Structure 1
Amino acid sequence: MTKRRFIPFSELKHRKAIVVDSMHPNGLVLSHWRGAPTPAEVRDNTSAAMVLHALRFNLPGLDLPYVTANHFDIDGFVGVWSLLNLELALENEELLRQMALIGDFRELDLNHPLAGEALKLVCWINAREKQLFYPPFGAEQLPEPEVTLCPKKFAYFLREFGRVLQDPNWEKAAWEEEVGEVLLGYRDMYKPTTKLSRHPDIGLVVLQLPEPLHYYALFSRTQGFDIVLSCYSGNRYELEYKYTTWVDLGSRPTLPRINLAPLAARLNALETSGHTWTYDAITETGPLLRLNGDKLTQVETYDNPTARIIHASSISVEELQEVVVNYFRTAYQGIEPRTFWTWKEIKELQLALPL
């Protein structure tokens, strides 16, 4: 059996490695990034699931002695840890898959028997990451880039994760606050005050609920959909393309992302609150359209909706939904969902849209 070790991404210039949740020509790539040359036989929704497939099927190329990633997140970490802890990874395969789904796509499904344990582990990583290092995307405010800083995170979590995996309750003090928030929000998603309307033809789900929730709760009822319009009391709104459209999903076809600029312009023509509708580029991991979104840092954009101010709009819920649904129906006219869109195709598509 090959004894592997983690190396910083920069060392790929000098040696070959298994590249997890990233891309580089000097090694075996196991990544769900759009356009990644991951072998077809191990394709899946998360990079961690691809790693677990590769381990179970003994994919050619796994004899490389090094493992790396260019950033730290839960999906990538689970993949890296699995390559360094083969037996434990295969013993806990479904639990690790759930961790990657919750961490990357934020789609918590408590009907799954291992989702509760996976949630504890994900929230433990979240807590320790913020406490000991910096939050996701926090490197943008530091003098060094993520690719340089993340090996310190990997060193800590690769050392500590096996202990916590055996009994997450050992670290209950770290995860219980966030887990409690998620579970309360999950319950709120099934209250009569929460309403869902689904538009499968455009991949849009509209959530109407009193207050913002933690993402793991908010997206718990959005599986199979890629655009979420959240409508909170007091005419507070956020529209988001989920991360499911930034990566190559292996389980289902998707529609390509559509430029949000024309939609923002239509909403600004209606808006009289004094706030401005802004939008993120479609190449961002989870682009938001919201009032005053250009004032958010990347850390704030990635953080939960409960952690940011959502301004009241002058546009009614009914009118907003009508504008949003009509926009995407027009944009997606004649476009069929499929797998493995390239960024080049997506960018070229914007030029031909009837908007």
Structure 2
Amino acid sequence: MIKRQFIPFGDVKEKKAIIVDSMHPNGLVLSHWRGAPTPAEVRDDTSAAMVLHALRLNLPGLDLPYVTANHFDIDGFVGVWSLLNPEPALENEELLRLMAHIGDFRELDLNHPLAGEALKLVCWLNTRERDMFYAPFAADESEEKEAKRCVDKFRYFLREFGRVLQDPDWEKPVWEEEVADVLIGYRDMYKPDTKLQRFPDLGLIVIETQKPVHYYALFSRTIGFDIVLTCYEGNRYELEYKYTTWVDFASRPTLPRISLKPLAAQLNSLETSGYTWTADSLTETGPLLRLEGKDLSRMERYDHPTTREIHTSSIPAEEMKQLVVDYFREKYAGIAPKRYWSWEEVKELNKTIGR
């Protein structure tokens, strides 16, 4: 069996490699990034799942001696670790697939028999990453700087993860605080005073709940949906596209992203609180529409709703919900869901329907 080695992303120019959760022409790409030239026979929702599928198929190109990625996150790390440790990876395939899904899409389903173990491992990675290195998107706005700085993360976790995978409880003091936070939020999401309204034709779900919770808890109620309007007590709102619409999502068709900026302008025409509605670019990993969102860094936007202030709007909840539903119903009129939208198609569509 070939012995593979992790290399920094910058080295892939000279060394042909397996490229995980990233893109580069010099090697075999196993990535769910939109437009990535991943072989069709291993397409899946996460990059790690593609890697595991490729290992099972012994996909041509896996004989390359080097593995790389241009950023560190749970999905990419699981994919890289699996290529360097193929036998234990395939022995733990379902658990690793679940880790990648929770890490990337933040959809936790505690009914899955391995969800508890996956959550411990994901929270161990999250906590160690934040405490020993830096939080996601904190390296810099520059992808090049992240590609260089993430190497230390990979080296540490590639060395330590196998030990923790064998028994996550060895590291309980590391993960227990975040796991507890997730479970408390998960319980809140299933309380009677948390209300859901689903609009499957729009890919939209509206969640009314008392207070912000950890994303793994919040998005536990959003499986199968791509747009989330969260309405908290006191007329506090956030609207966001999930990461499911940034990647080439394989398991189901999706609608294309529509710019949220015209909706922000419409809300500003009604808002009397003194705050301003802002919307991120549709190419952001998880675009947010919120009051005073322009001051958030990428790191803050990526972080959990519990970590950012959510301002009170003058717009009543029922009116807010109706405005959002009407906006998407108008914009998506005549557009059918499909798999594998290209960014060119998405941008052209937004020009056609008007920003």
Which residue of the partner structure matches residue 352 of structure 1?
A: 352
CA deviation digits over 1:190-236, x for unaligned, max 9? 10010000000110000000000000000001011000000000000
Alignment gaps of 5+ in structure 2? none
1:229 corresponds to 2:215:
no
User: Residues of 2 paired with 1:168 and 1:111: CA distance?
Assistant: 19
Q: What does 1:187-336 align with in structure 2 at a 5 Å threshold?
A: 187-336=187-336
Aligned length: 355
Q: CA deviation at 1:266?
A: 0.6
Q: What does 1:1-355 align with in structure 2 at a 5 Å threshold?
A: 1-140=1-140, 145-353=145-353
SS at match of 2:19: strand
- Give the aligned residue type for 1:60: P
User: Residues of 2 paired with 1:141 and 1:324: CA distance?
Assistant: 30
- Give the aligned residue type for 1:326: D
User: Residues of 2 paired with 1:354 and 1:169: CA distance?
Assistant: 53
* Matched-pair contact (CA < 8 Å) for 1:71–1:146: yes
Q: Which 4+ runs in 1 deviate beyond 2 A? A: 141-144
CA deviation digits over 1:69-107, x for unaligned, max 9? 000000000000000000000000000001001000000
User: Residues of 2 paired with 1:86 and 1:213: CA distance?
Assistant: 36
- Give the aligned residue type for 1:51: V
- Give the aligned residue type for 2:329: R
User: Residues of 1 paired with 2:178 and 2:10: CA distance?
Assistant: 34
Q: CA deviation at 1:145?
A: 1.0
SS at match of 2:59: coil
User: Residues of 2 paired with 1:141 and 1:276: CA distance?
Assistant: 24
Q: CA deviation at 1:354?
A: 5.6
- Give the aligned residue type for 2:55: L
User: Residues of 1 paired with 2:83 and 2:143: CA distance?
Assistant: 31
Alignment gaps of 5+ in structure 1? none
Q: What is the root-mean-square deviation of aligned Cα atoms in Å?
A: 1.1
- Over 3 Å counting, the alpha-carbon distance change for 1:14 and 1:126 in structure 2 is same
- Give the aligned residue type for 1:320: M
SS at match of 2:162: helix
User: Residues of 1 paired with 2:14 and 2:101: CA distance?
Assistant: 33
User: Residues of 2 paired with 1:181 and 1:292: CA distance?
Assistant: 26
Q: CA deviation at 1:15?
A: 1.1
User: Residues of 1 paired with 2:7 and 2:144: CA distance?
Assistant: 18
Q: Which moved more, 1:136-145 or 1:265-274?
A: 136-145
User: Residues of 1 paired with 2:93 and 2:243: CA distance?
Assistant: 23
User: Residues of 1 paired with 2:6 and 2:351: CA distance?
Assistant: 42
Q: CA deviation at 1:170?
A: 0.6
Percentage of matched positions with identical amino acids: 73
User: Structure 1 length as normaliser, TM-score?
Assistant: 0.99
User: Residues of 2 paired with 1:138 and 1:26: CA distance?
Assistant: 28
SS at match of 2:70: coil
Q: CA deviation at 1:142?
A: 9.4
* Matched-pair contact (CA < 8 Å) for 2:141–2:298: no
SS at match of 2:206: strand
User: Residues of 2 paired with 1:244 and 1:351: CA distance?
Assistant: 22
User: Residues of 1 paired with 2:331 and 2:268: CA distance?
Assistant: 19
- Give the aligned residue type for 2:74: I
* Matched-pair contact (CA < 8 Å) for 1:207–1:230: yes
SS at match of 2:208: strand
SS at match of 2:269: helix
SS at match of 2:29: strand
User: Residues of 2 paired with 1:226 and 1:169: CA distance?
Assistant: 33
* Matched-pair contact (CA < 8 Å) for 1:330–1:354: no
CA deviation digits over 1:141-165, x for unaligned, max 9? 7998101101100000000000000
User: Residues of 1 paired with 2:320 and 2:327: CA distance?
Assistant: 11
SS at match of 1:266: helix
* Matched-pair contact (CA < 8 Å) for 2:205–2:229: yes
User: Residues of 2 paired with 1:287 and 1:145: CA distance?
Assistant: 22
